[in-house]
């Protein structure tokens, strides 16, 4: 009898975006589109659309812990993506839960600011985030504004991205990798820089002219987590995730969701 291929289980710990373009709803779409089974722990609720975030309601940290413990007690988790965690007590609860359950792969998306410019991580939680979550991650995926918050300075050029990646890695575990996203810079290429402490890898893609890029960061980190669960290779997962996100952005204008920054097309490979 032919052995059934095991489908990986991937967990997203993040907030809920009702418009479906970012947060847990986007994560679940990405993980499902890439052939993994998505599970979730909700860390925050938002009132949000494609134009603005009008409210944030953190989930009590005790309930975040209960969600994590209950899930891990029953379900094999092959990779974890951490997104919006909101406030310091929730950051602490997530960090303690990850240390307790020790998943093999942790992808940390340093969610701090929404596409609309609204803050998604409280100022008082930044230090807790840096102290408790950064050291647990196998890979962190900041964009340039988020990297600026973590480092206390702006990153304004592609050349500055290399030094920023070095400095970010110094804040992480010794065996971690930094995936620094350069999409906020101008130019024909959307350049990302990856640094593992030894080598730099540059991933370039032709920049797509569209306003519909809501949830790009959430989706990239979820794609990396999904591919890690499937391939067990960080370099391969980053490369494949970049390709997937580029295709999803290129097809974003096929969707009609909201009047602001609409979502990317998570199901671009499936909805032919």
Residue 37: CA atoms inside 13 Å, Cβ hemisphere, count? 8
Which pLDDT belongs to residue 1? 42
pLDDT (tens digit, 9 = 90+) per residue, 36-89? 999 999 999 999 999 988 999 999 999 999 999 999 999 999 999 999 998 899
Which pLDDT belongs to residue 185? 78
260 belongs to a structural domain: no
Residue 164 has pLDDT above 80, yes or no: yes
% of the chain with per-residue pLDDT over 70:
95
65 belongs to a structural domain: yes
Q: Residue range 209-215: average pLDDT?
A: 91
User: Residue 258 has which token pair?
Assistant: 């909201």
Domain count for the chain, please give it: 1
66 belongs to a structural domain: yes
271 belongs to a structural domain: no
Identify the bridge partners of residue 55 per DSSP, sorted by sequence position. 47
pLDDT (tens digit, 9 = 90+) per residue, 102-112? 999 999 998 77
272 belongs to a structural domain: no
Closest to 111 measured CA to CA, from 28, 252, 16, 194: 16
Residue 113 has pLDDT above 90, yes or no: no
Catalytic residues: 181, 213, 215-218
119 belongs to a structural domain: yes
Residue 138: CA atoms inside 13 Å, Cβ hemisphere, count? 21
Measured CA to CA in angstroms, residue 22 lies from 28, 109, 142, 169, 213 at distances of 10, 12, 15, 26, 10
Question: Which string of DSSP letters, residue by residue, matches the chain?
Answer: -PPPPPPPEEEEEEEE-TTSSSHHHHHHHHHHHTT-EEEEEEEEEEEE-SS-EEEEEEPPHHHHHHHHHHHHTTS--SEEEE----SHHHHHHHHHHHHHH--S-EEE----B-TTS-B-S-GGGHHHIIIIIGGG-SEE--BHHHHHHHHTS---SHHHHHHHHHHHHTTS-TT-EEEEE-TTS-SSEEEEEEE-SS-EEEEEEEPP--S--BTHHHHHHHHHHHHHHHH--HHHHHHHHHHHHHHHHHTGGG----SSSPBP-TTTTT--
186 belongs to a structural domain: yes
Containing domain of residue 243, as a range?
Answer: 9-254
Residue 208 has pLDDT above 80, yes or no: yes
263 belongs to a structural domain: no
pTM: 0.94
Q: Which residue has the higher pLDDT, 184 or 87?
A: 87
Residue 236 has pLDDT above 50, yes or no: yes
CATH number, residue 57: 3.40.1190.20
């Amino acid at each position: 009898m032919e052995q059934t291929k095991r489908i990986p289980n991937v967990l997203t710990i993040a907030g809920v975006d009702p418009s479906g373009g970012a947060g847990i709803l986007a994560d679940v779409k990405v993980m499902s589109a890439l052939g993994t089974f998505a599970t979730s722990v909700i860390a925050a609720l938002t009132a949000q659309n494609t134009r603005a975030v009008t409210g944030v309601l953190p989930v009590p940290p005790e309930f975040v812990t209960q969600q994590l413990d209950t899930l891990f007690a029953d379900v094999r988790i092959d990779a974890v993506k951490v997104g919006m965690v909101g406030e310091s007590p929730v950051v602490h609860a997530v960090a303690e839960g990850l240390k307790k359950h020790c998943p093999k792969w942790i992808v940390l998306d340093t969610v701090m600011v929404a596409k609309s410019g609204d803050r998604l991580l409280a100022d008082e939680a930044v230090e807790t985030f840096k102290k408790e979550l950064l050291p647990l991650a196998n890979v962190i995926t900041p964009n340039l504004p988020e990297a600026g918050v973590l480092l206390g300075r702006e990153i304004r050029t592609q050349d500055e991205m290399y030094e920023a990646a070095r400095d970010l890695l110094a804040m992480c575990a010794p065996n971690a990798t930094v995936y620094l996203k350069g999409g906020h810079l101008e130019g024909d290429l959307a350049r990302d820089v990856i640094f593992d402490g030894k080598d730099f890898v540059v991933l370039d893609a032709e920049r797509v002219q569209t306003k519909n890029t809501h949830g790009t960061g959430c989706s990239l980190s979820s794609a990396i987590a999904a591919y890690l669960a499937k391939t067990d290779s960080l370099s391969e997962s980053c490369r494949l995730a970049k390709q997937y996100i580029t295709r999803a952005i290129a097809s974003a204008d096929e969707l009609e969701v909201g009047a602001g920054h609409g979502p990317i097309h998570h199901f671009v490979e499936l909805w032919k």
